[in-house]
Amino acid sequence: MSQPIRVLVVDDSLVMRSLLRMVLASDPAVELAGMAKDGVDALEAMDRLKPDIVLLDIEMPRMNGLEVLAELRSRHATAKIIMCSTLTRRGARITLEALAQGATDYVTKPTSQNGAADAVATLARDLLPRIKALFPVPEARNPHTAVSSASDALHHKKPEIVVIGVSTGGPAALETLLPMLPADFPVPIAIVQHMPQLFTAFLAERLNRECALHVREAVSAMRPEPGTVSIARGDWHLEFAKLPFGSGQMLRLTQTMPEHYCRPSVDTLFRSAAQAYGDAVVGVVLTGMGSDGLEGCKVIRNAGGRIIVQDRATSAVWGMPGVVAEAGLAHRVLPLPAIAAELMRLCLSRSLTPALKR
């Protein structure tokens, strides 16, 4: 955007409103459009100020964040809304519900900070890139993204593992993709979703209720099994390791250094999958900001595996999938609903439809 991104702050805490004011004042690409101290004031301010984006607290008097979100979605269907969440069990559950109901993204409020300066620095690091990722600056791009030819797929081994990397917009994307796969999908699935601890456990629980597949948060020494989806635990990398005294693979969680400031990292998962499964890997990169997954896709391609990425039109942010597509690493660039069909085509030996969980 040529003009600053106008932000409406909605929070009943005077301290939090003050911190967010300082954060927004620190970046010329954004500006404070206004503030509201509760949900009722927020709806009036939204109609009056018409901001580009809303930062919405969850716990507020008169109307809570979920009630305000529902009303905003009714009045302003395309509004961009970032939820301000707490790192608590309740905060994680409500945030995931908000994302399912149409919130664009979320940011966690700073905790255990040593004064306002540290709190502002933490919020600026986490929040400002999220805001700007939702309003990408137009730039010169290749007129066509490079996609491998269809005949390339004829020389691949039948898949033995599907690995998925996703970030901004991920919970909604996963709630679309995974329920389209049948309970007897014959290939294990492992996922890195950029989220903190607590959030990934609740995400797995929520997806497990929605899917025919069995969805779980990954634990070290678990075996990747057909019909099962393993989601990396927040703040832990997810990798594959050989089973002791036998053939096959098991899952392993590590806390080695973050990659691209991410732990869990898509690159870590993808690189490990290529090392464990070689050309029998399908890597899928869904919506998200940044470039985590790009290096991992290079490793999968070099090992002879396949790469599928979500297209720009259906991505909340075409950062992660976009850099992979523009690097010419993708065999397919597909709208989100078509990715499930492509996975079934690659992995199923017969035509199946989604089955009820047994």
Residues serving a catalytic function are 167, 194, 292
Query: How far, in Å, are 141, 153, 209, 284, 313 from residue 323 at the CA level?
Result: 11, 21, 32, 13, 15
Nearest CA to 319 out of 141, 95, 182, 187 is that of 141
Phi, psi (deg, nearest 5) at residue 80: -90, 125
The number of C-alpha atoms within 13 Å of 205 and in the hemisphere containing its C-beta is 10
Positions of E strands within the chain: 5-10, 30-36, 53-57, 80-85, 105-108, 161-166, 189-193, 214-217, 228-231, 237-242, 249-254, 281-285, 306-310, 332-334
Polymer length in residues for the chain: 358
In terms of C-beta density within 10 A (0-12 exposed, 13-18 middle, 19 or more buried), how is residue 27 classed?
middle
In whole angstroms, what is the distance from residue 231 CA to residue 201 CA?
A: 8
Residue with tokens 């607590």: 198
Q: What is each CA distance from 41 to 48, 62, 81, in whole angstroms?
A: 11, 10, 16
CA 95 – CA 149 distance, rounded (Å): 40
Side chain identity, residue 169: G
